[in-house]
């Protein structure tokens, strides 16, 4: 069975796409070397002997207007099919393409690795849409929303959030998205070494909030097999994003992804509180110093009074050092909750943060890596099913 169908007269692009598939994607490629598209999808299915395929790539030199017309028809007749258009998008073209039924847009100059990532994403979309075409079960479970919070800045919150996302990407490839809700000074983009074309500002526009396909067009793909939605490049744009828009954004992402990791701004801003209300899990980060511990205690006390604490919480002691003058017991006594994960002070983590490559993305042996993996494992459904009674255990520094 041909899982991927390519229409293009460009033989060189055909070779690149075949290399991408051969590099680890199951299924084969059927290529039609032409720039003439069928007027009726039945012609295409007939040429394939009615075989079911997952991804249709409309390659270089295919007329864009004809591609949009075909995608519109396929969106009605075969809504589960993923259609990729290979072209250099012009300003404002992306929304038009998505509304026509195009699932993704690929640059004609994309290399083999980029093509493979896009095909993986298209297959993921096909699988999701095939499930939705079938009768939906009532109350279908949403994805897990994991918020990372800290009343004080400088405790390594973004480093922890990016590593959680990368770690979860190994458990659920292409089913994880990290959202940077530190809207003024967010560092997720630099923490993942990304230069995103779109940001949260685009993702909360009316067109995106009404159509999850449009929303997905604004996500950045990371080499670790995750998606990222980064903070606005201009801090002024933060004032234009409301808590209601953030709530809607997280609801949409939870419907599309197995895991939504949210990095928040220090303190308890309105946007952060809106995110907290959507969280299934909250990771509270503190450093091993008196101001951080007292700040976390005060923040948790306020949230308890407001009844905003998620049922499942995880307290992380970052940059733990037995010579810091505080013990784990001191931290727990002041915070009023047990410490679940202790991340020792680590040069490897500091170096990875400066490089923009999360430490869990590489094969590094370091005590902090072991602790980060333990933190990630807490969000694995299999772990929870077998160790629910051990959700909160005393750690050792």
Identify the CA nearest to 342 among candidates 323, 367, 366, 311. Answer: 367
Structure tokens at 104: 């993704």
**CA gyration radius, the chain:** 23
User: Model confidence over 226-245: pLDDT tens digits?
Assistant: 999 999 988 898 988 999 99
The whole-angstrom separation of Cα 215 and Cα 288 is: 39
367 neighbors 322 (Cβ within 8 angstroms): no
Residue 149 φ then ψ, to 5°: -130, 155
Give the mean model confidence (pLDDT) for residues 163-178: 92
Question: Mind listing the domains of the chain with CATH numbers?
Answer: 2-131 (3.40.50.2300), 144-380 (3.40.50.300)
Mean pLDDT throughout 272-278? 91
Is the confidence at residue 363, as pLDDT, over 90? no
User: Can you tell me the mean pLDDT for 55-79?
Assistant: 89
Tens of pLDDT, residue by residue over 171-206, are: 888 899 999 999 999 999 999 999 988 999 999 988
Please give the Cα distance from 251 to 142 (Å, whole number).
9
Across the range 62-83, mean pLDDT stands at: 87
pLDDT at position 318 is 86
Q: Alpha-carbon distance 214 to 117, whole Å? A: 19
Query: Cα(222)–Cα(183) distance, rounded to whole angstroms?
Result: 20
For 202, the token pair is 């685009």
Q: For residue range 117-148, what is the model confidence (pLDDT) as tens digits?
A: 999 988 888 887 766 555 444 445 689 999 99
Q: How many CA atoms lie within 13 A of 260 on its CB side?
A: 27
């Amino acid at each position: 069975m041909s899982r991927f169908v390519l229409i293009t007269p460009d033989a060189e692009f055909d070779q690149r796409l075949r290399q991408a598939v051969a590099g680890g994607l199951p299924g084969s490629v059927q290529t039609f070397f032409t720039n003439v598209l069928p007027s009726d999808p039945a012609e295409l299915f007939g040429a394939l002997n009615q075989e079911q395929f997952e991804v249709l790539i409309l390659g270089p030199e295919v007329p864009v207007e004809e591609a949009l017309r075909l995608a519109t028809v396929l969106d009605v007749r075969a809504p589960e099919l993923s259609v990729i258009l290979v072209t250099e998008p012009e300003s404002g073209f992306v929304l038009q393409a998505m509304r026509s039924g195009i699932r993704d847009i690929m640059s004609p100059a994309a290399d083999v690795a980029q093509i493979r990532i896009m095909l993986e994403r298209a297959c993921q979309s096909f699988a999701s849409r095939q499930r939705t075409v079938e009768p939906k079960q009532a109350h279908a479970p949403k994805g897990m929303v994991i918020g990372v919070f800290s009343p004080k800045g400088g405790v390594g919150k973004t480093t922890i959030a990016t590593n959680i996302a990368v770690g979860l990407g190994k458990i659920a490839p292409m089913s994880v998205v990290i959202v940077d809700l530190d809207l003024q000074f967010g560092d997720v983009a630099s923490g993942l070494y990304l230069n995103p074309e779109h940001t949260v500002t685009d993702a909360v526009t009316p067109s995106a909030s009404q159509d999850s396909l449009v929303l997905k067009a604004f996500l950045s793909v990371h080499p670790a097999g995750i998606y990222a939605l980064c903070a606005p490049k201009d801090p002024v744009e933060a004032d234009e994003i409301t808590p209601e828009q953030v709530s809607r954004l997280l609801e949409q992402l939870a419907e599309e992804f197995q895991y939504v990791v949210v990095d928040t701004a220090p303190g308890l801003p309105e946007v952060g509180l809106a995110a907290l209300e959507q969280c299934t899990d909250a990771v509270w980060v503190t450093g091993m110093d008196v101001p951080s511990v007292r700040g976390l205690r005060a923040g948790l006390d306020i949230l308890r009074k407001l009844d905003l604490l998620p049922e499942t919480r995880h307290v992380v002691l970052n940059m733990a050092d037995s010579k810091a003058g505080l013990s784990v017991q001191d931290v727990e006594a002041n915070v009023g909750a047990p410490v679940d994960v202790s991340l020792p002070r680590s040069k490897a983590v500091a170096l990875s943060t400066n490089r923009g490559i999360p430490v869990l993305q590489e094969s590094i042996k370091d005590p902090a890596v072991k602790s980060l993996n333990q933190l990630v494992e807490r969000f694995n459904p299999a772990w929870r099913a077998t160790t629910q009674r051990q959700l909160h255990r005393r750690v050792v520094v």
